[in-house]
Copies of this chain bind each other. A is one copy, B any other.
């Protein structure tokens, strides 16, 4: 859990680079020199790929220019170690754009967690391919709603409008909260690393349509859900979080769908939290997820 203070900002630094001795020493000395106090740090040495990953949470005295200062100090280090890195100020919520189709359980759940202050997000828009009246029972708390219908012929155009909203709203993350349209490869590529999807049913077990019906036909004893980053490879992006529940022969496909809703909403919420707190780092086709 990130703790806030009146005098300090809390930053999270994540980085990855080719592994070689001295990285940890160099980074921790640098942060110490500029007045940072490391409160949490995790690292992972991906031996198979020769790549090194690190996540550091640190406090530093508040000032208006502090983010620029840290970035300037990091630049030469980043050069030396050929790092990719991100620096996030945790004192402001992260702007998210939520996409949804007919089923609203993930949307309602995210809005609830935002409202009670559980997730440090700021929803800047809700986009659906269904009209507003589909959600007439849901309180949006002032978040702008965009109805962007889609047909086979208007896919490119609709995606352009989504992208436009994403950019203009300053969104940092798109959440596909049971948005049932397949994104084009081009659009997926644009959103790469900035878009999380929840796949109902347990990937990679059941791909394609109606996975709960497939699970029913196959008589499996566990069903689950998978949250992953969107890439151009449909349902094959880096997995962030998965969970399962036990089912039985007495569960109909409708029961599986019902039980699935509970799994989907908690798996998606955990994945969003993981991303927001910069715990999930992409490593090729996989993720590093540092535990809280």
**Known interface pairs A28-B24, A242-B220; A289-B41 also in contact (CB < 8 Å):** no
Check: A151 CB closer than 8 A to any chain B CB: no
User: Which A153-181 residues have a C-beta within 8 angstroms of B?
Assistant: none
**Interface residue count for A (Cβ, 8 Å)?**
72
Residues 258-274 of chain A, each 1 if its beta carbon lies under 8 Å from chain B, else 0 = 10011000100000000
A252–B3 Cα distance when bound, in Å, is: 10
> Is A31 a contact of B25 with CB atoms below 8 Å?
yes
Asked whether, in the complex, the Cβ of A24 is within 8 Å of the Cβ of B38, the reply is yes
Closest Cβ of chain B: how far from A44's Cβ, in Å? 6
Interface string of A111-153 (1 = CB under 8 A from B): 0100110100000000000000000011101000000000000
Nearest chain B CB to A88's CB is how many angstroms away?
19
4 nearest A-B residue pairs (beta carbon): A219-B286, A25-B28, A24-B28, A25-B32
23 A-B contacts (beta carbon < 8 Å)? A1-B250, A1-B252, A21-B37, A22-B32, A24-B24, A38-B45, A42-B42, A105-B112, A118-B258, A202-B202, A204-B205, A217-B285, A218-B285, A218-B286, A220-B242, A221-B241, A221-B242, A221-B289, A222-B243, A248-B292, A249-B283, A250-B292, A291-B291
Residues of A at under 8 Å CB distance from B?
A: 1, 3, 21-22, 24-25, 28-29, 31-32, 36-47, 104-105, 108, 112, 115-116, 118, 137-139, 141, 202-206, 217-222, 224, 238-244, 246, 248-252, 254-255, 258, 261-262, 266, 283, 285-289, 291-292
